[in-house]
Structure 1
Amino acid sequence: MSLLPVMVIFGLSFPPVFLELLISLVLFFIVRRLLQPTGIYEFVWHPALFNTALYCCLFYLTSRLFS
C-alpha cells in the first residue's frame, strides 16, 4: 500500500503507482543505455524478454523504496 496521494493532472486521476511506474521507466532507459555499450545483449537469448525482466526488477525496487 502506497502512502502517496492520488495525482490529478488536467482533470485526470492517476493512482499512486503511476509515479512509481514513471520512475522505473526512467531508470530502465538509463540502465539500458548503460548496458548496451558493454555488449551484454550479445549474450542474451531474447533481448525483449531481458528488457521486460529488467523493467520488472526496477519496478519492484522502486515500489519497495516508496512503500
Structure 2
Amino acid sequence: MEQIISLFGVQIPTLVAVFLFAGIVQIAINRVLSSLGVYEFVWHPGLFRTALFMCIFTTFSLLIYK
C-alpha cells in the first residue's frame, strides 16, 4: 500500500518527502564530517557520501514502511 502526502493540495509519494529529509540530514552530517577531517582518511569521498546517503534514506524508509 502506497502512502501519499498532500502538500498544498498536491499529492506526492511519501518517499519523495523522505528523500528530501534524508538529503537535509546528509548535508548536516557532511558538514560535521568535513569539519572533523574524516574525508582525509576516506579513499573516495564522493562514493562515501553516496553510500552514507543511501544508508540514511534506507533507514528512514524502513522506519516509515515497516
Q: Same fold (TM over 0.5)?
A: yes
Q: What TM-score, normalized by structure 1, do the two folds share?
A: 0.79
Please list, as runs of the form range in 1=range in 2, the aligned pairs for 1:29-44 lying within 5 A after superposition: 29-44=27-42
Q: Cα–Cα, structure 1 residues 5 and 14, in superposed 2: closer, same or farther, change >3 Å?
A: closer
User: Post-superposition, which runs of at least 4 consecutive aligned residues in structure 1 deviate over 6 A?
Assistant: none
RMSD: 1.9
Q: Output the amino acid matched with 1:24.
A: A
**Which protein is richer in helix relative to its size?**
2
Higher RCO (C-alpha 8 Å, min separation 6): 1
Q: What TM-score, normalized by structure 2, do the two folds share?
A: 0.80
- 1:61 CA drift (Å): 1.0
Unaligned runs of 5+ in 2: none
- 1:16 CA drift (Å): 1.8
What is the total number of aligned residue pairs between the two structures? 65
Unaligned runs of 5+ in 1: none
Match of 1:5 in 2: 4
